Amino acid sequence: MPRIAYKIFYDGTVFNGFSGNPESIEEYLKRAFKKFNEDVKLLKASRTDPGVSAIGNVIAVDLSRIVLPEQLNSKLPESIRVWAWSIVDNTFNPRKASSRTYMYVKLYEDEDLELMRSCAQLFIGTHNLKNFTIGDDKLRSVVYIHDISIIRSGNYIYFTITGKSFRNKMIRKIVWTLVSVGRGKLSINYVKDLIDCKIERTVPSIDPEGLILLKVKYRPEITFKICEKCVIEISKYLENKIKSQLLTTECYSIIRNEFLNILLSNFLR
């Protein structure tokens, strides 16, 4: 029975999260496999919150036969698309990633970019970010963040954060903090005390709709087979969203552009 890993795109703004309810993305995927007589236990790289989208979340399932992405997509809503696949070792668990990269998109509202960038450097490395999590598990709140970049393009700011793993709502709490510093509502010294756990505070979360899971990486690297038809379907879906002016048009544009960049990097390897 082969274990197969799939790369998944989804528009999180139209679902109530990846897991945990009958209308979640995970349940739609399970029902799609069921149509091929495959009752699967689905392993996933990231259990994203309601409103959060993904270009390259990774799932893995044990199947009695290979089910191709285009077959699965025929049983899925257009807002979920499987676009790449690979046969992997039976011990492969998508949660054991070497890195995850997220992007948060928001409207530029005169935030001080240099101040936010200086503050972002405090998060780099290994830290106990208990103040940026939900719950009291101190061990699970220790994370390693490799990089945070903050770029302004036109009327928008893009926060790109890469780390080995993140806890529930951690990315959104970090972005909320950086934005608050950029608006002069928090000082960098105050944030340093939050990171060092010198003080305990409940840090708010920024809205989920601007958050996108861009990619998940593994060591050793997995070579995925890309479904060209599936890629075209995703591109068409995003174009229609952009034209319809629904929700955050800029967010859909960024998803499209980042998706194309990820595809290009796959083809050039």
Q: Of residues 39, 49, 136, 137, which has the active-site annotation?
A: 49
Q: How far apart are CA 64 and CA 40, in angstroms?
A: 10
Active site residue 49: yes
Residues 13 and 90 in one domain: yes
In this predicted structure, the answer to whether residue 7 has a pLDDT above a threshold of 70 is: yes
- Domain assignment of residue 201, given as a range: 104-210
Return the higher-pLDDT residue of 262 and 203: 203
In this predicted structure, the answer to whether residue 247 has a pLDDT above a threshold of 50 is: no
In this predicted structure, the answer to whether residue 116 has a pLDDT above a threshold of 60 is: yes
Residues 113 and 57 in one domain: no
CATH number of the structural domain spanning residue 27: 3.30.70.580
Residues 205 and 114 in one domain: yes
Q: Which of 167, 191, 210 is the last residue of a domain?
A: 210
Q: State the pLDDT at residue 238.
A: 82
In this predicted structure, the answer to whether residue 246 has a pLDDT above a threshold of 70 is: no
Tens digit of each residue's pLDDT (9 = 90 or more) over 35-62:
999 999 999 999 999 999 999 999 999 9
Say if residue 142 is exposed, middle or buried (CB neighbours under 10 Å; 0-12, 13-18, 19+): middle
Dihedral of CA atoms 165, 171, 175, 180 in degrees, nearest 10, equals -110
In this predicted structure, the answer to whether residue 153 has a pLDDT above a threshold of 90 is: no
Residues 134 and 205 in one domain: yes
Residues 181 and 252 in one domain: no
In this predicted structure, the answer to whether residue 159 has a pLDDT above a threshold of 90 is: yes
Residues 79 and 113 in one domain: no
Q: Which of 194, 210, 226 is the last residue of a domain?
A: 210
**101-116 average pLDDT score:** 95
Beta-bridge partner residues of 159: 104, 150
* pTM to 2 decimal places: 0.91
Residues 242 and 264 in one domain: yes
Say if residue 201 is exposed, middle or buried (CB neighbours under 10 Å; 0-12, 13-18, 19+): exposed
Tens digit of each residue's pLDDT (9 = 90 or more) over 212-242:
999 999 999 999 999 999 998 998 888 887 7
Structural domains in the chain (count): 2
**Beta pairing, strands 99-107 & 211-217:** antiparallel
Residue 269 confidence class, pLDDT cut points 50, 70, 90:
very low
CATH number of the structural domain spanning residue 164: 3.30.70.660
My answer on whether omega of the bond before 77 falls inside 30° of 0, hence cis, is no
